[in-house]
Chains A and B, each alone.
Chain A
Amino acid sequence: MTDDRAVEDLLRTLAPQVLGLLVRRHGQFDRCEDAVQEALLAAATQWPGQGVPDNPRAWLLTVATRRLTDEWRSERARRDREVAVALREPAYAGVAPAADAEPTVTDADDTLTLLFLCCHPALAPSAQVALTLRAVGGLNTAQIARAHLVPEATMSQRIRRAKQRIEAAGARFGMPAPGEREERLRTVLRVLYLIFNEGYTASSGPDLHRVELTGEAIRLARVLHGLLPGDGEVAGLLALMLLTDAHRAARVGPDGELVPLAEQDRTRWDRTDIAAGIALITEALTWSPPGPYQLQAAIAAVHAEAPTAAATDWPQIAALYRLLARIAPNPMVTLNQAVAVAMVDGPRAGLALLAPLDTDERTAGHHRLAAVRAHLLELAGEIGAARDAYLAAARGTTSLPEQRYLELRAARLAAQR
């Protein structure tokens, strides 16, 4: 018996490599992707019991290629019965990996190309996420559907539609044009961060069958960092994910309630992740111009270095937010900046920063704005107004744990009055 977990890890690493090879050889991303999924399924069924073959990649390639040729054969038979066409069926098993046939292209190139393809601008974010998880992450449709709490048929259709869109957009299996590459890489980072945040769940009673999207996002970010070690933002995103995920054990209380950063038991933070995250971001900032992910990671690193919430270096955090607001202006950044400024210059200064957000259509009426305002009003001792703001935030959120948390804060203030 081979360890199931090891088999799964191996399959997920090989998935984009096999798919890349297949698409380069045959074109037809859509069909190749389906064929690889079938090969992965066959492997997941057989390998744990029968053992992993000597050349697992060649095995997957053979099975996937057979699926493709079977399909073509039946199609062709249907289309023109008169002409007998002998289809070449390459036998890869047991021989050298087929990548040798195309020595100039590496598996790393293929994985990166696939990531770029799955994050094609013709796709909506939800489609980019689904396709990335399947084609690059090697997850099956059922796993992706469960992680998003939608029926498998819905997810299957979403993935099919995404692949059709990519083909309709005339996308080829290759790197985007040099002028588009940078923009596409930003999209890839956004998609990975989206996957991370989707999985960043604070609910209690973990569903054992629910795929860990957070872990998958970190795995993919790690792969990307391995492919592009010279990109500071890729390093920044990976660091940010590690530093955020390090709070996992501390951010939910015994009854499944959200525990805010300031009240978390810091002895429960994952020190290995923190050390890795800090090392990554510190190193990246020595040679890379600071981008948004790097700055957010740097902020997370400052929090991580504080032994207690009271010992937090708020002036440093406020300065980093100022920089972030300058290079990537965004009202959500201003919200966080206001908290840092309040910790340095007092709650009034923080509240003053919030005022313009009331007229910004991206934040006006947003529950996050109300929640931050509530917190700052509480610090300012304006208990009644703070309570109203907490309740407004609780009504505005669509997250159950957040709603519970905000209602609890409001209730505590009511008891104080």
Chain B
Amino acid sequence: MKYMLLIWNRPGFTEELTERERTALFGEVDEIMKELTESGELVGGQALADPSQTRTVRLAGGHPEVVDGPFMESKEQFAGYLTVDCDRPQRAAEIAARWPDVRFGGALEVRPIMDEAGTEM
């Protein structure tokens, strides 16, 4: 079963960390990625650029309009994702619980990915 772990955090929160904290944080991420690679659970993942680089397209006056800035004006922003293929849903949540952003006030959403296959009903 494939899950996408959506990483939400406060943009720029790493700027406030000490060098030691930063090293620890990136080290933890590397370690989790290494573990997932070795276990054959990692399917993919991407980190996103700062939200200030975002452009949002939405309908304005019946036409799509492009505006600078993210879709939601919230303190936490979508920062990246990780796709994993796990045997149990609990395992996906376990991975999310270890992601260091959570410790710094961020959140991870664990969302099942839709499958192209289906059974007869």
Chain A residues packing against B (C-beta within 8 Å):
124-127, 130, 148-151, 153-161, 197-203, 247, 251, 258, 260-261, 371, 375, 397-403, 405-406
Contacts and interface: CB of A to CB of B under 8 A. Distances in A.
| Chain A interface, >50% SS class | helix
B62 interface: no
B121 A402 contact: yes
B40 A154 contact: yes
B52 interface: no
B118 A202 contact: yes
11 contacts: A127-B40, A154-B43, A201-B116, A201-B117, A202-B117, A202-B119, A202-B120, A203-B116, A247-B120, A399-B119, A403-B114
A401 B38 contact: no
A261 B119 CA distance: 11
Contacts of B39: 157-158, 161
Given A258-B121, A260-B120, A125 B43 contact: no
A376 B116 CA distance: 26
Nearest to B115: A399
Contacts of A158: 39-41
B1 interface: yes
Which 7 residue pairs are nearest across A and B when measured between Cβ atoms? A158-B40, A401-B118, A201-B117, A399-B118, A157-B40, A203-B116, A402-B118
Contacts of B42: 154
A405 B115 CA distance: 14
Nearest to A124: B87
B8 to A, nearest CB: 22
A247 B120 CA distance: 9
Q: Which of B112, B115, B121 has the most CB of A within 10 A?
A: B121
B101 interface: no
A150 B43 contact: yes
